[in-house]
Amino acid sequence: MSEEPESDTKAGGVAAVERAIAILNAFRAGDSSLTLNELARRTKMYKSTILRLLTTLVQEHCIVRLDDGSYQLGSMLLHWGGLYQSALRLDDHVPPILRRLVQETEEGASFFTREGNHRVCLFRVDSPRSIRDHIRTGDLVPLDKGAAGRVLTAFDPTMTPPSRTPEQPYIITVGEREPDIAAIAAPVFGPQKNLRGALALSGPAARFSVELLPSMSARLLAAAADLTRRLGGDASIFDSWQAKSRPAALGETAS
Question: pLDDT tens track of the chain, all 255 residues?
Answer: 555 444 445 555 688 999 999 999 999 878 899 999 999 999 999 999 999 999 999 999 999 999 999 999 999 988 887 776 666 688 889 999 999 999 999 999 999 999 889 999 999 999 999 999 988 998 989 999 999 999 999 998 887 776 676 778 899 999 888 889 999 999 999 988 889 999 999 999 999 988 888 899 999 999 999 999 999 888 887 876 655 555 444 444 443
Q: Which residues contact residue 139 at a Cβ distance below 8 angstroms, ignoring those fewer than 6 apart?
A: 120, 121
Which of 223, 214, 255 is CA-nearest to residue 93? 223
Q: Which residues of 36-64 are buried (b: 16+ CB within 10 A; e: fewer)?
A: eeebbebbebeeebbeebbeebeeeebbe
Among 86, 102, 117, residue at a domain's last position: 86
Do 62 and 92 fall into the same domain? no
Is position 250 within any domain? no
pLDDT of residue 34: 96
Among 86, 117, 145, residue at a domain's last position: 86
The CATH number assigned to the domain holding 118 equals 3.30.450.40
Is position 117 within any domain? yes
Is position 249 within any domain? no
The CATH number assigned to the domain holding 51 equals 1.10.10.10
Expressed as residue numbers, the domain containing 150 is: 88-244
| E strands present in the chain | 63-65, 71-73, 108-115, 118-125, 140-142, 171-174, 181-189, 195-204
pLDDT of residue 249: 43
pTM recorded for the entire structure: 0.67
Do 226 and 181 fall into the same domain? yes
pLDDT of residue 167: 74
Do 110 and 221 fall into the same domain? yes
Tell me if 138 sits within 8 A of 102, measured CB to CB.
no
Which of 133, 109, 86, 81 is CA-nearest to residue 197? 109
Do 95 and 221 fall into the same domain? yes
pLDDT of residue 250: 44
Do 175 and 65 fall into the same domain? no
Do 118 and 76 fall into the same domain? no
Tell me if 102 sits within 8 A of 220, measured CB to CB.
no
Domain tally for the chain? 2
Do 65 and 131 fall into the same domain? no
Is position 156 within any domain? yes
Among 86, 117, 147, residue at a domain's last position: 86
pLDDT of residue 12: 55
Do 50 and 136 fall into the same domain? no
Calculate the CA 185 to chain-centre distance.
14
